Amino acid sequence: MNITLSKKNLNIAPSVTLTIDAKTKQMKADGIDVISFGVGEPDFQTPSNIKNAAVEVIKNGSIGYTAASGLPDLKKAICEKLQKENNLSYQPENIIVSNGAKHSLYNIFQAICNPGDEVIIPIPYWVSYPELVKMADATPIFIECNEENEFKLRKEDLLSAITKNTKAIILNSPSNPTGSVYSKEELEEIAKIAIKNDIIIVADEIYEKLVYDGEKHISIASLNNEIKERTIVINGMSKGYAMTGWRIGYTASAVEIAKIMGNIQSHATSNPNTIAQYASIEGLRGDQFSIEEMRKAFDERRSFMVNRINEIKDLSCITPKGAFYVMMNISKWIGKEVKGKKIENSIDFAEMLLDNAKVAIVPGLAFGADNFMRLSYATSLENIKEGLNRIDNYLNI
């Protein structure tokens, strides 16, 4: 076929996290015993009250089309949640319900970006941020955030990255892949800069329910009305409610931005899954006990993983304060040879462990941090112990 396809979209890179996951699943299907620390997905069942709500609406409810931007009652439930948990006052017209938080992010950048606009992205970043920005004809501008500062933005680095073309800053707290959680003081500094320079904050808060060590998630939009006007809050049901496959995400923003996103979605996808929307109403308004039980289990796994990694020769990590990921520092292995194979980068390290130790981890290159690997502790404690033992044994025996 001698046809020129979309030049812009030919340059979109595939998701490395999903690529690793696909290879891992194929190895498992071939009967190979692989321990996976790959894709971030809670290994818990969706809470029973949420599943029961879905079954009830299938049996007795209306499961046709809804409004393209979401059920009115779900929007109300989201507004109630944001007021109660985040001290944020929104009306249903500020809310757009989408097919997962990733879809919400797609809508955002399509709604706010024009060619020549720049979007600041801290490194390490979630793998899809740069590609979503590029798909909106904008330019990602990266800021290196070092391990010593818990991979968080520093005021001076942020100020140096801002230009006349800066449209937005992506703020992911708690973070994928680092687990970093911004304090109120740190958020206030970023908010002042955004207000002064009239920059939009894209606040990805999908992991907000998973915080540890007495930390508290604070939404930057809750600091004052000026920053709220400039903030688009992203959240959803996937991580906190173990509802990844249900595909419900949402945004809260100024009405003029919400209208654009709603119009985009009305043509691109129409409404999110109707059954999942009704189930999400129960998730937001129903019993939250199982959510806390899940968080406690993640906390136990986190502690074990951090301690065990730091016991392995020439590997290390800092303690994440949120989400369910650890960024493992492999810088001491770069340039070394292990059992006849030289490790040049994080992809080499990942391939070596998958092929030889039968352990799947995601190379840090996917997140812009080639000296690191991301390990998810959204798997059983038994798997964590076995997987880290395999890594230790392969590298050091």
Residues 217 and 259 occupy one common structural domain: yes
Domain containing residue 177: CATH number:
3.40.640.10
In a domain, 159, yes or no: yes
In a domain, 346, yes or no: yes
pLDDT in tens, 36-54: 998 788 999 999 999 999 9
In a domain, 1, yes or no: no
Residues 113 and 245 occupy one common structural domain: yes
In a domain, 51, yes or no: no
Q: Among residues 264, 285, 306, which one ends one of the domains?
A: 285
Residue 394, H or E segment: helix 381-396
pTM score, whole prediction: 0.96
Residues 79 and 36 occupy one common structural domain: no
Residues 280 and 294 occupy one common structural domain: no
Q: What is the tally of structural domains in the chain?
A: 2
CA distance 199 to 113: 12
Q: What is the pLDDT of residue 281?
A: 98
Residues with Cβ within 8 Å of residue 211, at least 6 apart in sequence: 174, 181, 217, 295, 321, 322
DSSP 174: S
pLDDT in tens, 327-336: 999 999 999 9
Across 299-305, average pLDDT:
98
Residues 364 and 263 occupy one common structural domain: no
Q: Among residues 258, 285, 312, which one ends one of the domains?
A: 285
CA of 139: how far to CAs of 107, 131, 163, 166, in Å? 16, 10, 12, 9
DSSP string computed for 228-293: HHTEEEEEESTTTTT-GGG--EEEE--HHHHHHHHHHHHHHT-SPPHHHHHHHHHHHHS--HHHHH
Residues 316 and 362 occupy one common structural domain: yes
Domain containing residue 19: CATH number:
3.90.1150.10
Q: Which two tokens stand for residue 56?
A: 């009830």
In a domain, 56, yes or no: no
105 and 132 Cβ atoms separated by less than 8 Å = yes
In a domain, 53, yes or no: no
In a domain, 185, yes or no: yes
Residues with Cβ within 8 Å of residue 272, at least 6 apart in sequence: 66, 70, 97, 98, 99, 247, 248
134 and 374 Cβ atoms separated by less than 8 Å = no
Q: What is the pLDDT of residue 25?
A: 84
DSSP string computed for 25-89: HHHHHTT---EE--S----SPPPHHHHHHHHHHHHHS--S---TT--HHHHHHHHHHHHHHH---
The SS3 of residue 99 is coil
173 and 180 Cβ atoms separated by less than 8 Å = yes
Residues 265 and 305 occupy one common structural domain: no
Residues 39 and 72 occupy one common structural domain: no
Residues 12 and 108 occupy one common structural domain: no
**Domain housing 183:** 62-285
- Name the phi and psi angles at 97, rounded to 5: -95, 130
Residue with tokens 């690529």: 19
Confidence class of residue 120 from pLDDT cuts 50, 70 and 90?
Answer: very high
Confidence class of residue 17 from pLDDT cuts 50, 70 and 90?
Answer: low
Residues 111 and 251 occupy one common structural domain: yes
pLDDT in tens, 246-285: 999 999 999 999 999 999 999 999 999 999 999 999 999 9
Q: Among residues 267, 285, 303, which one ends one of the domains?
A: 285
Which residue type sits at 219?
Answer: S
Residues 145 and 179 occupy one common structural domain: yes
Residue with tokens 């690793």: 20
Choice between 27 and 281, residue whose per-residue pLDDT is larger? 281
In a domain, 122, yes or no: yes
Q: What is the pLDDT of residue 1?
A: 75
Which residue type sits at 53?
Answer: A
Inform me whether the pLDDT recorded for 89 exceeds 90: yes
Q: Is the peptide bond before 14 cis (omega within 30 degrees of 0)?
A: no
Question: In this prediction, what percent of the chain has a pLDDT beyond 90?
Answer: 91
Q: Report the mean per-residue pLDDT for the chain.
A: 96
252 and 88 Cβ atoms separated by less than 8 Å = yes
Residues 152 and 273 occupy one common structural domain: yes
pLDDT in tens, 48-79: 999 999 999 999 999 999 999 999 999 999 99
